[in-house]
């Protein structure tokens, strides 16, 4: 029998947490810019990110995930959202779970309990990535400047998520609403993407929201 060493990785006291775009001081930009911007950006910072691996064809695995999270296991390129949490297909045997700040430890415990006895892996990757939410009527125009992937609504409906080349790097694009998209970014490239988005959205107007 294999025992996993699971513990609380998020400090609760005495430690200052900084998001990937902490240095950009986005808070100071809230309320500035055009009155009717085409693009509004929000950093969904310091959320809990967990990578889950297992056999998606195993009914017991799918049932265990649903029991632990209250969300059905999504299929290829799928994204399921429940309140402030989401579960995204990343590959044939890999999914990304995103939960509100501070809830990742409890989510991991529920998963391990519900999937006990199955061959799985749950890894907390919260510190290495973040989400940028883009909303507004001109977001798709910005995306068309940034990636060669077809983001037309016929090809990219709400609830789809894909990993693709974006500018001169790679990230994951998630469509969560008619005019709402999310970029799943790696911490090490956050500054590059922030500068890119400022430039790509300049002609439409970019606003920052908290």
pLDDT in tens, 178-192: 999 999 999 999 999
Q: Using the predicted structure, report yes or no on whether residue 39 has a pLDDT greater than 50.
A: yes
Question: Helix 190-200 crosses helix 139-146 at what angle (to 10 degrees)?
Answer: 120
Which fold does the domain 31-208 belong to in CATH? Gyrase A; domain 2 (3.30.1360)
Q: How confident is the model at residue 2 (pLDDT cuts 50, 70, 90)?
A: very low
- Which pLDDT does position 33 carry in this prediction? 77
Secondary structure class of 87 (helix, strand, coil): strand
d(CA 83, CA 67): 16
Q: How confident is the model at residue 31 (pLDDT cuts 50, 70, 90)?
A: confident
Domain boundaries, the chain: 31-208
């Amino acid at each position: 029998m294999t025992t996993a060493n699971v513990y609380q990785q998020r400090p609760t006291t005495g430690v200052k947490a900084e998001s990937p775009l902490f240095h950009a001081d986005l808070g100071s930009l809230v309320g500035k810019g055009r009155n009717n911007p085409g693009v509004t950006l929000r950093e969904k910072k310091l959320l809990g990110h967990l990578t889950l691996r297992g056999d998606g064809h195993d009914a017991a695995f799918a049932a265990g995930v649903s029991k632990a999270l209250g969300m059905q296991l999504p299929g290829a390129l799928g994204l399921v959202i429940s309140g402030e949490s989401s579960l995204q297909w990343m590959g044939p045997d890999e999914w990304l779970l995103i939960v509100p700040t501070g809830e990742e430890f409890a989510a991991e415990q529920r998963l391990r309990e519900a999937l006990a006895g199955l061959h799985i892996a749950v890894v907390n990757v919260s510190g290495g990535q973040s989400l940028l939410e883009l909303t507004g009527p001109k977001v798709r125009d910005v995306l068309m400047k940034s990636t060669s992937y077809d983001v037309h609504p016929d090809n990219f409906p709400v609830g789809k998520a894909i990993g693709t080349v974006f500018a001169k790097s790679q990230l994951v694009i998630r469509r969560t609403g008619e005019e709402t998209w999310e970029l799943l970014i790696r911490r090490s490239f956050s500054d590059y993407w922030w500068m890119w988005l400022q430039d790509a959205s300049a002609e439409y107007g970019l606003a920052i929201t908290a």
